[in-house]
Structure formats: C-alpha cells, structure tokens
Amino acid sequence: MKIVQAAIASVVFLGVLMGIYYLHINKFNVNVVFYAAIFDAVIATFVAGGLLFSLKMFNMLGIFEKFQLVIIWAITGYALAISLPTVIDRSLSFYILEKIHQRGGGIRQEAFEEVFTQEYVNEHHLVEVRLTEQLESGTIIIEDDCVLLTAKGEYFVSFSRAFRKHWLPKKRLLLGVYSDALVDPLSAGLPGKNYVCH
C-alpha cells in the first residue's frame, strides 16, 4: 500500500534527520543552533529524498507523491528545528521551569528579577549567544567595542517595531492584569543610562 510506503519513507527521513543532527552537534562546530538545525534538516531532506527516488522499495509511489513527501519533510524539518533545539536553547519559559526545579521546586516570586538579571544572563551566556546570532545573521557588526546595526539590522528593526505596534495583542495577560505594555516596551527608555557609542 502507498500509505505504508510513505510512512516507512517518513520514518527513514526522521532517522536520517536525527542521525545528522546528532553527528553535527557532537562532532562539528556550531555557530548558531537554529541555523545548524535548519542546515541539518535540508541535508536530511536531500538524503532521504535521494533514497525515496532511487530505492525500488518505494516504486509504488508516483513522482508527484514523492515530491509531496519531500516537501512535507522539508516543512517538518523546519518545524522541528524551531520547536525543539531552538526553543529549548532560547526559551526563558523552559529556563524558569528548570530553575524552579534546580532550587528544589519553588522560588519566591519577588526573587525572579534577580534570577533573570543575575543568574539567567550569566548561566546561559546570554549576551555572547545573542550577539553571536546577530553577527552570524548580518544584522550587527562590532567595531572598536561598539555594536552597530547594519542596513539589514535596520530593516529588521523597522519590521519588528511595526509588527509590535499593529499585530501584537493590545490586551495581553501579565500576572492577572491585561495590558498593552509589550506593544512598545522601549518607548519609555531608561533615564540616566548612557551607553550610546558612535
């Protein structure tokens, strides 16, 4: 049956993807987790697609069905790259759960600002990781210890600010209160803080 062949081929794709990803993260340098996971998904899609089109065991599937499977695998690889390694690597929500677990299952609510500013930033090397991601993305450059936006970075800022203003919820629940505080979180600035460089 075609459905059985498609299922077997998809299991092969997932096995290839897991194998490539595992090999990549353990044996090779990784600049940015998300980009590495996407790269692995592309390679796995090509390898599994090559097997799909070359092995006789999948002959019952037509050319169109095979192309559909390859497209589904590419989308699946992209979704997995975002949903697993990238989310776990970047997620403040997972960090909160892990930190509560580390501290025996409970942390006082008023201590979370200190946990974020004093522990999270250091434990996850947040500044180094995020600056590396932006450098690899081409949105910033660093010159003379000054972090500067590139033209690409300016474009992304324009997009993100417009998206925040028009497409983020105006009534978002924040600890029991609905607020628009995250629509333009930088509007107030930080009085007295001067860290601008040119």
Report pTM. 0.80
What string of H, E and C letters represents the secondary structure of the chain?
CHHHHHHHHHHHHHHHHHHHHHHHHHHCCCCCHHHHHHHHHHHHHHHHHHHHHHCHHHCCCCHHHHHHHHHHHHHHHHHHHHHHHHHHHHCHHHHHHHHHHHCCCCCCHHHHHHHHHHHHHHHCCHHHHHHHHHHHHCCEEEECCEEEECHHHHHHHHHHHHHHHHHCCCCEEECCEEECCCCCCCCCCCCCCCCCCC
Whether 148 is in a domain gets the answer yes
From 62, 90, 118, the end of a domain falls on 90
From 27, 61, 90, the end of a domain falls on 90
Whether 50 is in a domain gets the answer yes
Whether 21 is in a domain gets the answer yes
Whether 128 is in a domain gets the answer no
Beta carbons within 8 Å of 192's beta carbon, 6+ residues apart: none
What residues make up the domain containing 182? 138-186
Range from 65-69, 76-80, 92-96 carrying the lowest mean pLDDT: 92-96
Looking at residue 187, what is its pLDDT? 77
pLDDT for 92-133, tens place per residue?
A: 999 999 999 999 999 999 999 999 999 999 999 999 999 999
| Count: domains in the chain | 2
Whether 153 is in a domain gets the answer yes
Whether 113 is in a domain gets the answer no
Same domain for 86 and 8: yes
State the Cα–Cα distance between residues 65 and 12, nearest whole angstrom: 16
From 53, 68, 90, the end of a domain falls on 90
Looking at residue 198, what is its pLDDT? 64
Looking at residue 190, what is its pLDDT? 65
Whether 78 is in a domain gets the answer yes
Whether 105 is in a domain gets the answer no
Same domain for 142 and 81: no
Using the predicted structure, report yes or no on whether residue 184 has a pLDDT greater than 90: no
Mean pLDDT of 182-195: 75
